[in-house]
Structure 1
Amino acid sequence: MATGPIATVYVRNLEERVKIDVLKETLRHVFSEFGVVIDIIAKTNLKAKGQAFVVFEDPESAKAAAEELQGFIIFEKPMQVALARTRSDATVKSHGTEEDVEMHKRRRLAEKDKRKALEAAEEQSRLKRPGHGLKSLNPATTVIPDEYLPPNKILFVQNLPEEYDVEAVTKIFGRFDGFREVRLVPGRRGIAFVEYAGEQGAITAKENTAGMVLGDTNTIKVTYQRQ
Structure 2
Amino acid sequence: MSNPPSVTLYITNINDKVKKEELRRNLYALFSVYGKVLDVVHTRSPKTRGTAFVVFRDLASSTSALRGLDGEGFFGKQLRISYAKGVSHATIAQAEGPEAVYAIKLGLRTAAEKKKAGQSKMTVSAAQKKAADEARGKRAREENGAEAEHGETPNPILFVEGLPVEVTADMLLPLFQQYPGLSSLKLLPTPSGSAPNAGLAFVQYETAGQAGTAREALNEFLLAPQTPMKVGWAKRA
TM superposition score normalised by structure 1: 0.42
Structure scoring higher RCO (CA < 8 A, sep ≥ 6) equals: 2
If you compute each CA radius of gyration, which structure gives the higher value, 1 or 2? 1
TM-score normalized by structure 2?
0.41
